[in-house]
Amino acid sequence: MPLSGKKIAFLVADEGVEQVELTDPWEAVKKAGGHPVLIVGSDSKTVQGFNHLDKGDVFDVDLPVSEADAEDYDGLVLPGGVANPDALRTVPEAVAFVKSFLDTGKPVAAICHAPWTLVETGAVSGRTLTSWPSLKTDLRNAGAEWVDQEVVVDLKGPGPLITSRRPDDLPAFAKALASAF
């Protein structure tokens, strides 16, 4: 199994994460033998999932981002949802946590609206990404090449950057992140 024994961080805001974009990659990591760890960008003890605009399940948090260190993890997953990355990109500790993965070459995977958080790191310039279509201009303005594909694995930086567009692309996203991690 490619993820056997690896610790993979999942970074979310305390509310607004698209539930299936959290749970499907989480299950893929577990199935591949990895250890997913839920980290939140605040001091919240739980995370409210959403099924688009409707409240979904509540998830227990392992630790806040203020207590997390990228050195303790082998990769990072950024689930989407509109509110989730919009909130995370305003939390300096969350942005720094993401940037530390990108700077050290550890794999990072982001789906749907999650590349908004990547934009805040300043580390997408020269990289090829996909996302929910409404982020195309934001990513291009940040220096990235935006493409409309179900999954993109960019190897131009220090480490792999895996991006995907939407929940329908989750099978390809999960396969790509398991392979890259």
Query: So where are the chain's domains?
Result: 7-180
Q: What CATH fold (topology level) applies to the domain 7-180?
A: Rossmann fold (3.40.50)
Query: What pLDDT sits at residue 2?
Result: 66
Q: Order across the sheet with 161-164: list the strands.
A: 63-64, 35-40, 7-12, 75-78, 108-111, 161-164, 151-154
Asked if 86 is an active-site residue, the reply is no
pLDDT digits (tens, 9 = 90+) for 29-70: 999 999 999 999 888 999 999 999 999 999 999 999 999 999
Catalytic residue, from 12, 29, 109, 112: name it.
112
Sorting pLDDT into bands at 50, 70 and 90, what band is 5?
Answer: confident
pLDDT digits (tens, 9 = 90+) for 78-122: 999 999 999 999 999 999 999 999 999 999 999 999 999 999 999
Mean pLDDT value across residues 6-15: 95
